[in-house]
């Protein structure tokens, strides 16, 4: 700790972890499929789960719905909550 600040930047570390997670996820899918068309089919659910979870809030589900509770467990909504709460 130097002058009240930590030397490690936690946001940068979290960003690097997520970068490598998505990078390795893409490599894994790329090694698994055999054609470009299959790549699109295999990446679509991954994109919906990890990339478009914020769009679930705009589908007019109730505040206590199970869908919103599950969507808030994915990485991007958690990062937004951490940023808003300055965690």
The yes-or-no verdict on residue 28 having pLDDT over 80 is: yes
Q: Which of 5-9, 27-31, 32-36 has the lowest mean pLDDT?
A: 5-9
**33-48: pLDDT as tens digits:** 889 888 888 888 888 8
**Confidence band of 61 (pLDDT split at 50, 70, 90):** confident
**Confidence band of 6 (pLDDT split at 50, 70, 90):** low
Task: Please give the full DSSP string across 15-37, using - where no structure is assigned.
Answer: HHHHHHHHHHHHHHHHHH-SSHH
- Computed over every residue of the chain, the mean pLDDT equals 82
Q: Which CA distances in Å does 80 have to 4, 38, 73, 84, 86?
A: 25, 32, 11, 6, 10
> What does the H/E/C string look like for 37-74?
HHHHHHHHHHHHHHCCHHHHHHHCCCCCCHHHHHHCCC
51-60 — which CB contacts under 8 Å span 24+ positions? 51/76, 53/77, 54/80
- pLDDT for res 1: 54
């Amino acid at each position: 700790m130097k002058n009240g600040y930590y030397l490690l930047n936690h946001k940068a570390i979290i960003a690097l972890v997520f970068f490598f997670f998505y990078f390795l996820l893409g490599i894994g899918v790329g090694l698994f499929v055999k054609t470009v068309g299959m790549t699109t089919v295999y990446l679509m659910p991954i994109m919906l789960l990890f990339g478009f979870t914020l769009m679930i809030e705009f589908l007019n589900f109730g505040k206590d719905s199970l869908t919103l509770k599950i969507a808030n467990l994915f990485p991007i909504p958690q990062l937004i909550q951490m940023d808003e709460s300055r965690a």
